[in-house]
Amino acid sequence: MTRVLLVDDDVELSGMLSEYLTQEGFETHAVHDGEAGVAAALSGDYDIAVLDVMMPVLNGVEALRRIRQHSSLPVLMLTARGDDIDRVVGLELGADDYVPKPCTPRELVARLRAILRRMAAPPPAEAQPDALQEGPLTLWPAKRSADWQGEPLALTSTEFSLLEALVREAGHVVSKADLSEKALGRPLARFDRSIDVHVSSIRQKLGPRRDGQSWIQTVRGQGYQFVRE
């Protein structure tokens, strides 16, 4: 049974979401402040965390920052509807996805399952090689691990899925709509900047090519392309 950590200071909402998640087959535990959320997330007892941005004392953004210093636990952020700043900052810090509040329990479950699905169910072995090699990058899809220039490359689950999708089509443009489906497990929403933020984070981790250009290039109006050497 998938173990979900729910971190939200709204006790009533947490109770409702916990009840729904339990009905959907999840094992759910709720805490109601950021400090407790960080401690629980780092305990190793959970498969995924749902983290509200707006909490007193230690908000969700700072809680996520502390979690990412020590763990790659998948994190889904709950953000205020229309609050693009918190949303972008959360993604930059390594959140796997976000859901604007107020959200329906059904939407939350769908987003959680999309994250868990891409982590736990790689394509059949006969459909993918043991490793994907492109320049100094090596990806092992079955293990969801990566090396860059011979050293381990730390990626969130969403970053790995996004980079894998680009590498499989290296030298070709992949649309943001396709990347959203493959990396986020959902259709691209209008004005959704998630893909752009995740690509920016990956670019920073890879650094520039020898010619000073990015390994992942933007093709205006079309999408992104991983550049072959």
DSSP 151-201: EE----HHHHHHHHHHHHTTTS-EEHHHHIIIIISSPPPTT--HHHHHHHH
Whether the predicted pLDDT of 197 surpasses 90:
yes
pLDDT, mean of residues 117-128: 60
178-192, pLDDT tens digit by residue? 999 988 888 888 878
pLDDT in tens, 58-111: 999 999 999 999 999 999 999 886 667 888 889 999 999 999 888 889 999 999
Looking at every residue in the chain, the average pLDDT score rounds to 91
Q: Is 72 exposed, middle or buried (0-12, 13-18, 19+ CB in 10 A)?
A: middle
Q: What percentage of the chain exceeds 90 in pLDDT?
A: 75
Q: Residue 135: what pLDDT? A: 92
pLDDT > 90? residue 41: yes
Q: Is the pLDDT of residue 128 over 60?
A: no
pLDDT at 82: 67
Name the burial class of residue 131, with classes exposed (0-12), middle (13-18) and buried (19+) by CB atoms within 10 angstroms of its CB: middle
Q: Could you say which DSSP state residue 102 is in?
A: S
Residue 42: the pLDDT is 97
Task: Return d(Cα 159, Cα 96) in angstroms, integer.
Answer: 8
Cα 66 from Cα 35, distance rounded (Å)? 10
pLDDT for 127 beyond 60: no
* pLDDT for residue 190: 81
Q: What share of the chain is helix, strand, coil (3-state, %, to 5)?
A: 40, 20, 40
The share of the chain scoring above pLDDT 70, in percent, equals 95
63's CB contacts (< 8 A; 6+ apart) are 7, 34, 35, 37, 38, 41, 51, 55
Residue ranges and CATH numbers for the domains of the chain are 3-120 (3.40.50.2300), 128-226 (1.10.10.10)
Q: Whole-prediction pTM value? A: 0.81
Q: What is the DSSP letter of 87?
A: H
CB atoms within 10 A of CB 43: 11
pLDDT tens digits for 131-151?
Answer: 999 999 999 998 889 999 999
Q: Of 125-134, 151-160, 182-191, give the range with the top mean pLDDT.
A: 151-160
pLDDT of residue 119: 77
